[in-house]
Structure 1
């Protein structure tokens, strides 16, 4: 149930995801989970929404997800060893914090999860930086820190005691501020430079129409798109329509691209074709869109499309879990600039929940 709730947040958030061209982000997502078949601890890092590294309790080693990410060791040969040590420390801290949080929330049983989303952003033009750290317990906001004012914000009554504690510890927030303004932006700048060609590429998707049965809605499905900033709509006689339209999931593919879909409730008849229904996909940075007109001959059966989607669009479960929280948080920040959080010393990410 917890994992399904994360997917719901992901679907809603990704539809409004957008990043200004000169602003780059480095995000870390950490989760300690008691959910069956998931690692007890997972850490994944993203630059501009692209996963760059991962650690989990099953493999216990931090590894790069792309060759260009390894270039960061040119300046720091022990980068991956240090990341692994930090993640092993975080793994134990967050496992302990699940038990502490259960006591604070008066939970005697059940399956529980702690999430930490943290990171920074840097404006290439101005050099301005900002950061965030955001804690959740069982999918609910608990406590966060506002980087510019270095103020802890309690989103739940059980977080008031930790908030007071961390507001009063001498030097604690100063150490975090150093991370926001120096360490994290420095790593971000290096990653962006090393991966510029990969991060600035554009890939147009395969767009097709799918219908499970003659009475089912028609799904317009786009897969293989990059970057994630895109739109997929239905038009009628040249005008965008919203009635009888439902947005589907946007999720990552195994190859670093994304897929998305949108449904239209319509009876596929010659009359419908005369009304000129069409699905339109547009990708950020590309002037021309992809247009698929609705007619019986353009619709694939569910069986045909399902095989192709499995081959092209299967998302790695661990990647989905990580991206869910990251994209959710990015979208939330973009929707309301008042909610900004930051990471400090990564070895103490879990402390605000248990303090």
Structure 2
């Protein structure tokens, strides 16, 4: 099962790491009783950059990156086909919300039915992997196990679906083939179309922030690309593991990323501050970016006691929505029996069991 959280191994070096792991992800979300929000939304991302979008209000799949228009050079029917796919998915997901609310006896209130599926490709080792997951109201519902070609039911209510979907061996074999062969093929095409954007490297601006004189000093790096980055504190060149808090990479509204690392300075003598450095490493860039721990460069607002760091929720309104639609993710049509696989699935073809 693919985890939904980025885990960072402290001490892992990114020096000279020019290879990248690329990803293609699709998020489907159907919701009920949510004011001023489409009943169905479909979003596609390459390397966590949104490149295609559809919702039940506009009824049309549209590109979100200029380079996605290049796809018609190889496939004239691409947008028409994907619009039709999303129209079909819209009906499937709306039905799914009703089925699950009834099965779980939760017919009142706001509910969501979600799916995430896609693949990852390492452009150096050529290794690929895939995932296909569904959820209801923000919790895992049923997940495809790529190795066993069977379904995992994290909650009891999904067990009937697991039993039915496991019976369709041909569909499950086809799903694995899609995730490990067809999806990576499309991913490589998209990376080729958007190479100038997706393969670029942008170093961040780095600031040292402190809420008050007794607060930790935060090293905040923002505006970097890609998201394969490490940010950590060192003392005399050795990475620190105690007295530090490392935070995950977060998206910015412009497609770049940000990351923070906190250092507890309460026990550091003033004369030793110059022994500490904040180190930023970016995949594909050989040189580290070092920022010396220096009181003169720290930005603080001790008087107002107001936090300095702007949260991603304030700067990434739409991207945050995509993340919510996705990092919880999923889909499932009805729990009766799985469908036969489509004969020629494209990147957004129906993978979900259906009647």
TM-score (norm 2): 0.77
Is the Cα contact below 8 Å between 2:49 and 2:255 reproduced in 1?
A: yes
Cα displacement (A) at 1:202: 0.8
1:21 aligns with 2:22: no
- Mean alpha-carbon deviation: is it higher for 124-133 or for 66-75? 124-133
Match of 2:157 in 1: 158
Q: How does 1:168-317 map to 2 (within 5 A)?
A: 168-169=167-168, 171-173=170-172, 175-177=174-176, 179-180=178-179, 183-267=182-266, 271=270, 273-274=272-273, 276-302=275-301, 315-317=315-317
| Aligned CA distance change for structure 1 residues 201 and 313 (closer, same or farther; 3 Å) | farther
1:62 aligns with 2:61: yes
**SS of 1:266's equivalent?**
coil
Is the Cα contact below 8 Å between 1:130 and 1:148 reproduced in 2?
A: no
Summarize deviations over 1:283-316 as a string: whole Å, max 9, x none. 112121111112221111359x989969x99643
Distance 1:166 1:286 in 2: 45
Distance 2:272 2:126 in 1: 52
Cα displacement (A) at 1:116: 1.0
1:32 aligns with one of 30, 33, 41: 30
Distance 1:265 1:178 in 2: 49
Identify, as 1 or 2, the structure richer in helix. 1
**SS of 2:86's equivalent?**
helix
Match of 1:94 in 2: 93
| Aligned CA distance change for structure 1 residues 260 and 122 (closer, same or farther; 3 Å) | closer
CA RMSD between the two structures? 3.7
Is the Cα contact below 8 Å between 2:139 and 2:328 reproduced in 1?
A: no
Match of 1:84 in 2: 83
Is the Cα contact below 8 Å between 1:57 and 1:91 reproduced in 2?
A: yes
- Mean alpha-carbon deviation: is it higher for 276-285 or for 316-325? 316-325
Match of 1:321 in 2: 321
Summarize deviations over 1:91-148 as a string: whole Å, max 9, x none. 2322322232223333343433222111134565776654321112233222122345
Distance 2:220 2:20 in 1: 30
Cα displacement (A) at 1:53: 1.6
Summarize deviations over 1:228-278 as a string: whole Å, max 9, x none. 111111122322222222223521112211011111222498616546222
Distance 1:167 1:249 in 2: 36
Q: How does 1:102-117 map to 2 (within 5 A)?
A: 102-117=101-116
TM-score (norm 1): 0.77
**Structure 1 unpaired stretches of 5+:** 1-8, 330-342
Match of 1:333 in 2: none
Distance 1:130 1:293 in 2: 40
Is the Cα contact below 8 Å between 2:209 and 2:308 reproduced in 1?
A: no
